[in-house]
Amino acid sequence: MCEIGRALLTARKETGRSIREWARELNIKSDYLFALEECRFEDLPEAVLAKGHLRRYAEALGLDPEPLLAQYPTRPTLAPLDVTTPAKRSPQFSWWPILLLLFALIAGLGWWLLTRPQTPPQPEIELSQPPPPPPPPEESVLKLTTKPEGAVVWLDGFRLGKTPLSGSFSAGVRRLKIEAEGYSTYQQIIKLEPGRELDLKITLTPLPKEETSIPTGPPKVTFRYSERAWVRITTPDGHKLYEGIPQVGSEQTYELPVIIRTGNAAGVRVILNGQDEGPLGGEGLVVERRFEIPTESP
C-alpha cells in the first residue's frame, strides 16, 4: 500500500466511521474513496477531479492534503489514432480482341491513361510515443530515538508510529514532527539522501508544570489528548459540543454530564473533577463513555 492510502486508512479508522458514511457526508462515490485508500489510481476519474476528491477527503479526516497531492501519480494517456490508408484503385483493363488493329489498342490505352482518377498524395502521420515511465524513487534509511521513548513521529503529515523506530523512506527534503504528552512538539526539516542512513537522537523539552488547584463550582471533566484521535462530545440529549481531531497536547473541559466517543481511546486521558482517571482505553479502540454528575451519598 502506498503512503497516500496508508495515511487515509489510518485517519479514517481513528474517526470510527466507515467509508460509506464519509461518502454520504462528502457527496463522493464510495468507490472513489475505496480506490484512494487502496491506491487503485487507475479506477479514479481524470487527475483534476481525482485530486479534488483526495483534497476534500484528506481535509475531512484532519490531514494536510498538500503532501498527499504531491505524491499523486501522473497517468500519461495516448489516444489511439485511426489511420485509414485509401486503397489504390486497380486499373481496369479491357482486353481488345487480338484481331483488332494495333492502332486501336494504343489509342484505347492512351485514353485510359489520360482519364484515370489520380490518387492524391497522403500526408505523413507522425505517431507520438508515450514518455518513458519515471524512475522509481530512491530510498534512504531513517533511524529515530527520543528521550523519553514512546513519542509519536510524523513525516510529511504521515504517522510513522512511536519511537524508537527505523524504516526506509523516499529520499528528499522531508518535514519531521515529534509529539509526546507533557513535552513541547519538536519539528525539524531533514534531508534524506539516496542510499544513505540518517540516525537521529532527539531529547524532547518538557512543558512547564502547572500548579494544581482544588476544583470549585459545578463538577467538570477534562479530556487531555496525548495522541492523535478523532472525538465527538455531546450532551445526554444529543446536542453536539465538539467533533474533530484535537491537537496533540491540548485539552478540553466540560461541565457534567457529557458523552464522549473516540476512535483512539489510548490518546484521550480523562481528568474527572481534578482526579486523573487515565486513558479511556487501549490503542486504536473505539470507545464511548458517559460522565454523569456524581450523587452525594447520604
At which residue does the C-alpha cell 514532527 appear?
177
Neighbours of 230 (CB within 10 A): 23
Task: Output the pLDDT for position 257.
Answer: 92
| Cell, residue 115 | 482519364
Give the DSSP letter of residue 135. P
Task: Output the pLDDT for position 80.
Answer: 40
**Region for residue 119 given its phi and psi (left: phi exceeds 0; alpha: psi -120 to 50; beta: otherwise):** beta
What gap in Å lies between CA 80 and CA 33, rounded to an integer?
Answer: 30
What gap in Å lies between CA 72 and CA 89, rounded to an integer?
Answer: 52
At which residue does the C-alpha cell 486504536 appear?
284
What gap in Å lies between CA 191 and CA 218, rounded to an integer?
Answer: 52
Q: Which residues of the chain have pLDDT under 70?
A: 1, 75-100, 117-129, 134-137, 210-216, 296-298
Q: For residue 9, count CB atoms less than 10 angstroms from its CB and return exposed for 0-12, middle for 13-18, buried for 19 or more.
A: middle
The answer to whether 145 and 164 have CB atoms below 8 angstroms apart is yes
- Name the β-bridge partners of 85: none
| Cell, residue 286 | 473505539
